Amino acid sequence: MNDAETAKPIHTAGMATFLEAGNPPMNLLRVQPGIPVDHAYEHVSILLGYIKHLVREGDMEDDHKLLGASDYLLSMAKALMNDIELAKQKALR
């Protein structure tokens, strides 16, 4: 067996948060721990495709609702990528 076959699968850490709410602001949502990283990457890729479409359409149509929706999705994608990186760093220790 090579290293790739014996490597322990990496899962999301469940530490990254997103969408602040309240006063003082608190993070409303958190990435779920235990999701295989390859599945999480797949969802980030899908989210980024949607974000790209929303931004393009929002700019062309001057539609602030589409641009606002892209901001929410971007926050979610960023949190998921941050959580994947945390999980990868944790796995290297």
- What's the mean pLDDT in 30-52? 96
Distances in whole angstroms, Cα of residue 59 to Cα of each of 26, 29, 49, 62, 72: 30, 28, 16, 5, 16
End-to-end CA distance of the chain: 22
Which pTM value belongs to this model? 0.85
Tokens of 80: 């998921």
Please state, as a whole number, how many other Cβ atoms lie within 10 Å of the Cβ of residue 86. Answer: 16
Q: What confidence category does residue 4 fall into, taking pLDDT thresholds of 50, 70 and 90?
A: low
pLDDT number for residue 93: 82
- What's the mean pLDDT in 23-43? 95
Is residue 70 within 8 Å of residue 48, measured between CB atoms? Answer: no
Tokens of 89: 């760093």
- What's the mean pLDDT in 61-85? 96
Q: Among 76, 91, 90, which Cα is nearest to 17's?
A: 76
Mean pLDDT for all residues in the chain? 92
Higher pLDDT, 3 or 84: 84
pLDDT number for residue 2: 54
Q: Give 29's strand partners.
A: 18
Residue 60 has pLDDT above 90, yes or no: yes
What residue ranges do the domains of the chain occupy? Answer: 3-92
